[in-house]
Amino acid sequence: MRQRSQGAIVNTCSLSALCPAVRQSHYDSSKAAVLALTRSAAVELAPRGVRVNPVPSGLIERYGIEQDWPDGVARWLERAPLARVGSPTDVAGAYPFLVLSLASWITGQNLIVDGGITASPAY
């Protein structure tokens, strides 16, 4: 990236960095740190032609999530406009987009992939 004076870094983040969950302060704060680091790097690396963006994703399915966090999954499903938990494939498309030249003027911005949960009413 230094030799070409261009490049892109995409960091994985969690929606919990922006929308904290009940009894998840330890997790939420660690994800907020990733978000802050990513945005700071975007500012610091921009003069070198390097773009840095985070992809905060919503609740993503994994083996055992319903058993490990039944109340959280239930709360998610009650509010999610697309009425499901996301899959890794749902999030995967954000990464190639952010490294393409089509995104050459995007840096330090959240590309939120959450099935519409942040668009749903809080109350």
Distance CA 12, CA 91 (A): 10
Under DSSP, the state recorded for 15 is G
Report domain extents, the chain: 7-118
Output the average pLDDT for the chain.
93
Q: What are the tens digits of pLDDT across the range 38-72?
A: 999 999 999 999 999 999 999 999 999 999 999 98
| Cα angle: 58, vertex 64, 67; to 5 degrees | 95
Burial 53-65 (b: 16+ CB within 10 A, else e): bbbbbbbbeeeee
Query: Confidence class of residue 122 from pLDDT cuts 50, 70 and 90?
Result: confident
Closest CA relative to residue 13, chosen from 51, 58, 65, 50: 58
pTM: 0.87
Q: What are the catalytic residues?
A: 27
Q: Which fold has domain 7-118?
A: Rossmann fold (3.40.50)
